[in-house]
Amino acid sequence: MNVQPLIDAINFKGIVTGLTHDFYRYPARFSPLFARAAIEAFTSPGETILDPFMGSSTTLVEALALGRNAVGTDISSLSVFLARVKTKLLSGHDLDALEEWAIDTAPELSTRSPVVRHMDWHELGYQINLPWRFRKFAEQALNSIAELPTQVQPAARCILLKTVQWAVDCKKRLPTTPDFRERLIENTFTIVAGMIELTKRVKALGKEPGGIEAHQCAAADIGELQSELLRRRPPKLVVTSPPYPGVHVLYHRWQVLGRRETPAPYWIADCQDGQGGAHYTFGDRRRSDHDDHYFARLRTAFAGVRQVVHRDCIVAQLVGFAKPEQQLPLYMAAMEDAGFKEHDLGGNGKRPSQEKFWRAVPNRKWYTWLRDETKQTSEVLLVHRPA
């Protein structure tokens, strides 16, 4: 088997854009090139791929573009929202409606105009720490989205989500109102172009698009999922990236002007959160028994995955470690307990976790939980098969 494209993909340092991958800046997402190379190396068209920690659905988008079926699960409802928007191909007519909406709405966003407030979301705390100007623009835009045809509304919400994230998340200075308006339109064009590109790729396959399912579900519970695809064609490939041990990632909040956090993305996407950060990262990083807790959750998650995959399935995962020497052996032991053995990818009897499968990830939105530790997190490709 030629694994060179997979190695090239994990070592690629640039930013990969295109298709619907630019719809939202999800923290710790992996490169589409990695998902693409794994899908091409290990599956044929028509087969099913599973990503039990789908995040921003990179795997699902690539599977769709390559004529495969895919099932994605995640415990975050925001992830499910993104997966559905990014894999639902809209008609040319619907894309025109999106552009018209943005062109009409952007100039109307104003701090001076009155707005019908979203008091129910406000009272539930979803608007907390969102600077009032952007809270008001979001309310104005959401009120106009409600007038759009139902099938267009999620994509319009996604445009707004991307724009408010750009305006406030990890920003030291907030943009002006004209800049916000301009960005809303720019983001609409990006999203429409991505949708057109994905539609062309799917049409070029010359057959019905593969089935895509996105579910809000903990990986440990996948065995109980009502999934037609999993039942019909057990996955031959898992491509995934679980939460990383000892590496804190803020999946479910935007960070505003320093360390203030807002759950506003859930409000804009019209989905429920209600969980603390530890829920999304396999445990609270501040707990003294963090590693024990993390590996126990990893074990049950992959035991759930084991129940639904084909007996010849390949599991390809990119995992980042804060302390690789300590944590990698524990990781491998947890995978073994869950029913997976390491797979010799190179066919040369050497462990795959060698130098070429490691890469240093520049520290952007995540940071190791000991503040004075290295600013780099090491990521490794791990390949397993059912034992």
Ligand X SMILES: C[S@@+](CC[C@H](N)C(=O)[O-])C[C@H]1O[C@@H](n2cnc3c(N)ncnc32)[C@H](O)[C@@H]1O
Binding site for ligand X (CB under 6 A): 26, 28-30, 52-53, 55-56, 58, 73-76, 79, 218-219, 241-243, 251, 280, 282, 301
- Residue 206 gets the label, from left (phi > 0), alpha (psi -120 to 50) or beta, of left
- Residue 38 gets the label, from left (phi > 0), alpha (psi -120 to 50) or beta, of alpha
Taking the complex as a whole, the smallest distance from the CB of residue 239 to ligand X amounts, in Å, to 8
Taking the complex as a whole, the smallest distance from the CB of residue 25 to ligand X amounts, in Å, to 10
* Closer to ligand X by Cβ: residue 26 or 134: 26
Taking the complex as a whole, the smallest distance from the CB of residue 21 to ligand X amounts, in Å, to 9
Query: Which H or E run contains 139?
Result: helix 132-145
* Closer to ligand X by Cβ: residue 58 or 377: 58
Characterize the bridge pairing of strands 237-240 and 314-321: parallel
Taking the complex as a whole, the smallest distance from the CB of residue 20 to ligand X amounts, in Å, to 12
* Closer to ligand X by Cβ: residue 106 or 301: 301
Query: Which H or E run contains 175?
Result: none
* Closer to ligand X by Cβ: residue 99 or 337: 337
What is each CA distance from 209 to 69, 203, 307, in whole angstroms?
8, 8, 26
Retrieve residue 25's tokens: 């800046």
What's the CA gap between 321 and 374, in Å, rounded?
Answer: 11
Nearest residue to ligand X, by Cβ distance, number only: 55
* Closer to ligand X by Cβ: residue 52 or 67: 52
* Closer to ligand X by Cβ: residue 106 or 264: 264
Pick from 233, 220, 241: nearest CA to 43: 233
Pick from 242, 268, 251: nearest CA to 331: 242
Retrieve residue 317's tokens: 């995962």
Taking the complex as a whole, the smallest distance from the CB of residue 203 to ligand X amounts, in Å, to 25
Taking the complex as a whole, the smallest distance from the CB of residue 237 to ligand X amounts, in Å, to 14
Answer whether 49's CB lies under 8 Å from 43's CB. yes
Answer whether 314's CB lies under 8 Å from 342's CB. no
* Closer to ligand X by Cβ: residue 42 or 251: 251
Retrieve residue 380's tokens: 């490794």
Taking the complex as a whole, the smallest distance from the CB of residue 86 to ligand X amounts, in Å, to 10
